[in-house]
Amino acid sequence: MSHDDFSRRAMLRLGTSAVFGSLVARWLDPRLAFAAEAPKPKAQACILLWLNGGPSHIDTFDPKPGRATGGPFKAIKTRAPGMMLSEHLPHLAERGDKLAVVRSMSSKEGNHVRAQYFVHTGYAPNPTVVHPSLGGWTSARLGDAQAELPAFVSIGGPSFGAGFLGVQNGPFVLPKGGAPPLDVALPAGVDRARFDRRRAALDAMEDRFSKETGEPKVEGRRQVYAKAVRLMQAPKLDAFDLASESDTTKKAYGDSDFGRGCLVARRLVERGVKFVEVVLDGWDTHKDDFGRTEKLMAQLDPAFAALLDDLGARRLGGSTLVACMGEFGRTPKINANDGRDHWPQAWSAVLSGGGIRGAQVLGATDDEGGKVAGPATSVPDLLATMSSLMGLDPAHSEMTPVGRPISVTDGGAPVHALLG
Amino acid sequence: MRATALAIILGLAACDRGAPPPALPRPVATVLPPPAPAAPALLSSADVDARLRVEWQKAGVTPTPPASDATWLRRVWLDVLGTIPPPEVARRFLADTSADRRARMIDELLASPLWADHWTEYWDDTWMGREARAPIVDRGAFRAWLHDVLARNVPWNEVVTQLVTASGVNSEGGPKKEAYANEGKVGEPAGVNGAVNWTLRYLQNPQDMAGSASRTLLGVQIQCAQCHDHKTEKWKQTDFQSFAAAFVRTRLVPLDRGKDMADVKRVEVRDLDRPAPRFAKMGDLDAVMKARPTALDGTDLTTSPDGVRAALARWITGRDNPWFARALVNRMWGHFTGRGFVDPVDDLRPANPPAAPALLDALAADFVAGGYDVKHLVKVIAGTEAYGLSAAPLAEATAKSDPEVKLWERFRVTPLGPEELLNALVSATKLDAIVRATGRMDLAQIRYRVRQRYGFLFDVDEESDAGDYEGTISQALALLDGGVTTAGASVLPGSALADIMATPGDDAAKLESLYLRVLSRLPGKDELERWTAYVADAPSTPAPAPVMRKGKKGGKGQQPDPLRRLEERTAVEKGSARVHAYEDVLWALLNSSEFVLNH
């Protein structure tokens, strides 16, 4: 067995095994070997507000009032000099000093599935390997396998998994914010004593099968089950329950699944969860773009703003990176259905906290909002910026099952202008 | 994922009146008789065994002993039909002492109507993936087409030709339809060709279609060359572009006239003698649009009068295509044994040489000679000594160890795919009968809901050869506390456990029935003793009053979650301590590695 062969297999296997946890933790600790030019990691956690379907940049973060392509919304001033946002984002405008709005995002992926994959993983889809999402990388390299709560939680959607880093680093999925996770409560009619008896019965089955077959997967399953039971009984499970939050707080986030999801995200980050994605779906506005985008902004605006306030009040703003984006932008041209179609050529992403310098607009689009004026920001560059703030060196690579080293993004480099 | 959608329903229907299970009435085309038996002098399992023994000898590895009949039976049901055997089948097979019992069982499986269900799942997943759910794509129609060609065992070259050259009309899809399509409740209107949905899936991505075609039909990973010249292989970016050029020559004619384009769901797919204008707007396709359609070996695809796609299909399925037969043989071998000759199964290339290449070549030649008969291939593979070996490794002292088991000298253990697991759970618990007995719920809806809720949770990478079990907390939770295992392991009316409890007999007889149903084997003496004591010692105080789970009764315009209703149904069911103890035993069986793994 060649050395390379050994290391790639060992890497993959050890990465999944708690037995070698400490050894691997050191091996994988990115802080030990960080490329010189990468920024210092400042974020302990990342919250990704995912605007599924591809929001119209022109109607949200890159307004073009008065232009033929601008639509009916007015632009309003923000706390950041020169930064204008849609009139339907008044709460965020108030917090413009905390935001970095990247208006020069540009990609080639105009198909939902491909673009969602690209923006989550930093790679265009390629059937030879499944690339890990940023959440997956975070779980694999920064997560604590012994923690009560999973390192990567997705609220309101399945998100994207950890690819070749293994399903155990994929997201723990919560169907929607404010609801308890599926299946953590004991089934009706089964109390703790009966559950323990059941587990003892299961142990007997496992012992016998393991002895008979020598199958190593049995031990792997035992570990996963132990984790699941730990989660069922975890004191930190209260993160998912919003009952202890005041009405004022709940109201600030807004009465929506997305708002409750953002509040849960804050509670998870407080309890040490490393990566939380909260999904707001419905931005694929081929029809009635303005009506629908306005309604979606009415959910996004208070939730995003309250999240920033809350993190700030808890002194978590500096160590929590908040990112907000979808898979692409939408056409400047307004179609016959009052809608806008897919537009990956130019779109916006918003970053805040966790080492991001606020009160800035990076890049710009032309007058119509159709092309990036000046240098464009690529998806890999954006993700590399986020990953390096998290302490994941974008230059670090890991061996895939097909024997090819893969780094966190497809050649992305941190955008220094975004850093504080 | 290896899966079958509703095998269970069939399987359980069979349980009620004895195997083999009857055919579910299908709305699809008339079932034609299978093609005439192929030419004689084809390979047999014994021929494969002889060749493999030579390979083992050469490599100095020792095969494990044969797996027990019970283990083999469960394995072959899962791999051929995607579910576990009904208890009557297990009982009958375990009592069978004839020398050819395994061969006869394979014949029985190949003739089962579950065959088409299982392989419809398999190919639907391979070709359409998880995500192909655009409004214009009707997966129900695609599956109906697949089911029809698989049920008739249409020769593989013909199936692929139909897929690649598919023309005609699709029908309206959507999630609601999908929910029912699996259960055979939705018929396809006359004149619909479900095969066109593969082309429609790639409406905007002809490059992906080219990549998928070369990967799934030929086992060749050309798509790397989409972005750059291949570093180790011969493909250049221009080769990819010329190949992809064969996939841009279809036009779509909308059939729902008078609607906005955004609302058009029904289209007709037709061949076009030039690149379709709809791709012209996509800037990155310029090179593909300009390229001359060319096969991967340089064959010009533009010279036939019947069009580029017909020429492409002829080239793909041609007898002299070096990849076509090998790719399918390798894929099937990998499906059954856990590892293809070439691993991963769809990465045939010089730098990734096969194990036992002569055997791969022989099987591929046999596949061609036998008229591309997939059932014959499966019969040969499932009948081999290698497929029937034990999964337990030999002691170090007696065997030279090969940790990667590259030569199949031991059976490779894999987790059940999501559909297989769901099928096995329903078969083991009679969940369908539980649902029926409640009178108000719909199994189709429950299965759809389970698939939605848990499908992605149990997504395992079949091609991953990690020795460790890779599972998630969510998967474990779903089995520990989820509605399917909770309801399934209860004595609700109609359930497997209720049947077993109602059948006269002592604990040993009940445990035997339970084991045959869930694990397809008889309990060991140690197990009979343990569980008999467990049942006898069960706490005499009844379990505490069940607590209704909090849950919304469905929001505005939403159907109440049928899975939740099922859980709540369980909650009101009371039982004696003895019944609870049996429920606990069944629960432990359903959660066991022995149940969750294909071993």
Cα–Cα distance between A298 and A275 in angstroms, integer? 25
Q: What is the mean pLDDT of residues A214-235?
A: 87
pLDDT given for residue A70 in this prediction: 96
Q: What is the mean pLDDT of residues A134-161?
A: 92
Residue B19 confidence class, pLDDT cut points 50, 70, 90: very low
Give yes or no for residue A26 having a pLDDT over 50: no
Q: Residues A39-71: pLDDT tens digits? A: 778 999 999 999 999 999 999 999 999 999 999
pLDDT given for residue B277 in this prediction: 87
Cα–Cα distance between A217 and A232 in angstroms, integer? 23
Give yes or no for residue B25 having a pLDDT over 60: no
Write out chain A residues lying below 8 Å of B212, CB-based.
Answer: 127
Partner residue facing B469 (CB), from A208, A224, A228: A224
Q: Residues B343-399: pLDDT tens digits? A: 888 888 888 899 999 999 999 999 999 999 999 999 999 999 999 999 988 876 555
Q: What percent of chain B clears pLDDT 90, i.e. is strictly above it?
A: 50
Question: What amino acid is encoded at B291 in this protein?
Answer: A
Question: What amino acid is encoded at A289 in this protein?
Answer: D
Question: What amino acid is encoded at B239 in this protein?
Answer: D
Identify the closest residue of chain B to A175 by CA–CA distance.
B453
pLDDT given for residue B558 in this prediction: 44
Give yes or no for residue B26 having a pLDDT over 50: no
Q: Is A264 helix (H, G, I), strand (E, B) or coil?
A: helix
User: Would you state the structure tokens that stand for residue B363, as one six-digit string?
Assistant: 């099987």
Is residue A255 less than 8 Å (CB to CB) from chain B? no
Q: What is the mean pLDDT of residues A201-217?
A: 92
Write out chain B residues lying below 8 Å of A201, CB-based.
Answer: 534, 584-585, 587-588
Q: Residues A253-286: pLDDT tens digits? A: 999 999 999 999 999 999 999 999 999 999 999 8
pTM for this one?
0.80
The phi-psi region of residue B176 (left if phi > 0; otherwise alpha if psi is between -120 and 50; otherwise beta) is alpha
**Helices B443-454 & B418-429 angle (0-180, nearest 10):** 140
pLDDT given for residue A163 in this prediction: 86
* Per-residue CA distances from B48 to A97, B42, B45, B270, B387 (Å): 72, 11, 5, 44, 11
pLDDT given for residue B67 in this prediction: 97
Give yes or no for residue B556 having a pLDDT over 50: no
Residue B216 confidence class, pLDDT cut points 50, 70, 90: very high
Whether residue B468 and residue A113 make contact (CB cut-off 8 A), yes or no, is: no
Whether residue A202 and residue B205 make contact (CB cut-off 8 A), yes or no, is: no
Residue B51 confidence class, pLDDT cut points 50, 70, 90: very high
Question: What amino acid is encoded at A91 in this protein?
Answer: H
Q: Which of the two residues, B433 and B323, has the higher pLDDT score?
A: B323
pLDDT given for residue B191 in this prediction: 82
**Cβ pairs A/B, distance under 8 A:** 194
pLDDT given for residue B548 in this prediction: 45
Q: Residues B53-78: pLDDT tens digits? A: 999 999 988 999 999 999 999 999 99
Q: Residues B289-336: pLDDT tens digits? A: 999 999 999 999 999 899 999 999 999 999 999 999 999 999 999 999
Residue B278 confidence class, pLDDT cut points 50, 70, 90: confident
**Helices B101-110 & B69-81 angle (0-180, nearest 10):** 20
pLDDT given for residue A72 in this prediction: 96
Cα–Cα distance between B505 and A195 in angstroms, integer? 28
Residue A36 confidence class, pLDDT cut points 50, 70, 90: very low
Q: What percent of chain A clears pLDDT 90, i.e. is strictly above it?
A: 70
Q: Residues A110-131: pLDDT tens digits? A: 888 889 999 999 999 876 788 9
Q: Which of the two residues, B62 and B27, has the higher pLDDT score?
A: B62
State the smallest CA–CA distance between residue B262 and chain A in angstroms.
8
Cα–Cα distance between B477 and B480 in angstroms, integer? 5
Give yes or no for residue A317 having a pLDDT over 70: yes
Q: What percent of chain A clears pLDDT 70, i.e. is strictly above it?
A: 90
Mean pLDDT estimate for chain B: 81
Residue B7 confidence class, pLDDT cut points 50, 70, 90: very low
Q: Residues A226-241: pLDDT tens digits? A: 889 999 999 999 999 9
Out of A34-43, B239-248, B264-273, B357-366, pick the least confident.
A34-43
A184-223 residues touching B, CB cutoff 8 A: 184-191, 193-194, 197-198, 201-202, 204-206, 208-210, 212-221
Cα–Cα distance between B331 and B378 in angstroms, integer? 11
pLDDT given for residue B282 in this prediction: 65
Cα A223–Cα A43–Cα A298 angle in degrees, nearest 5: 100
The helix (run of H) or strand (run of E) holding residue B94 is: helix B87-95
Partner residue facing A186 (CB), from B475, B481, B591: B481
Partner residue facing B476 (CB), from A12, A190, A228: A228
- Residue among B81, B475, B338 nearest A181 (CA): B475
The helix (run of H) or strand (run of E) holding residue B555 is: none
Q: What is the end-to-end Cα distance of chain A in Å, rounded?
A: 47
Residue B432 confidence class, pLDDT cut points 50, 70, 90: confident
Q: Which of the two residues, A138 and B33, has the higher pLDDT score?
A: A138
Domain boundaries, chain B: 414-541+549-598
Residue B229 confidence class, pLDDT cut points 50, 70, 90: low
Cα–Cα distance between A152 and A315 in angstroms, integer? 21
Q: What percent of chain B clears pLDDT 70, i.e. is strictly above it?
A: 73
pLDDT given for residue B357 in this prediction: 94
What radius of gyration, in Å, describes the C-alpha atoms of chain B?
Answer: 26
Q: Residues A399-412: pLDDT tens digits? A: 887 678 899 999 99
- Residue among B94, B89, B95 nearest B70 (CA): B94
Cα–Cα distance between A53 and A292 in angstroms, integer? 12
Is residue A400 less than 8 Å (CB to CB) from chain B? no
Write out chain B residues lying below 8 Å of A21, CB-based.
Answer: none
pLDDT given for residue B20 in this prediction: 30
Cα B311–Cα B312–Cα B314 angle in degrees, nearest 5: 65
Report the relative pairing of strands A329-330 and A320-325 from DSSP bridges: unpaired
Residues whose CB falls within 8 Å of the CB of residue B144, separated by 6 or more in sequence, listed in order: B27, B28, B181, B188, B194
User: Would you state the structure tokens that stand for residue A166, as one six-digit string?
Assistant: 């293994």
Q: Which of the two residues, B269 and A23, has the higher pLDDT score?
A: B269
Q: What is the mean pLDDT of residues A203-216?
A: 92
Is the CB of residue A98 less than 8 Å from the CB of residue A359? yes
A116-145 residues touching B, CB cutoff 8 A: 124-128, 130
Write out chain A residues lying below 8 Å of B534, CB-based.
Answer: 201
Cα–Cα distance between A343 and A332 in angstroms, integer? 8
Q: What is the mean pLDDT of residues B336-341?
A: 93
State the smallest CA–CA distance between residue A96 and chain B in angstroms.
36
* Per-residue CA distances from B57 to B60, B62, B63, B303 (Å): 5, 8, 10, 50
Partner residue facing B223 (CB), from A126, A186, A190: A126
pLDDT given for residue A3 in this prediction: 41
pLDDT given for residue B270 in this prediction: 94
Give yes or no for residue A180 having a pLDDT over 70: yes
Give yes or no for residue B201 having a pLDDT over 50: yes
State the smallest CA–CA distance between residue A322 and chain B in angstroms.
26
Length of chain B: 599
Q: Residues A8-19: pLDDT tens digits? A: 333 333 333 333
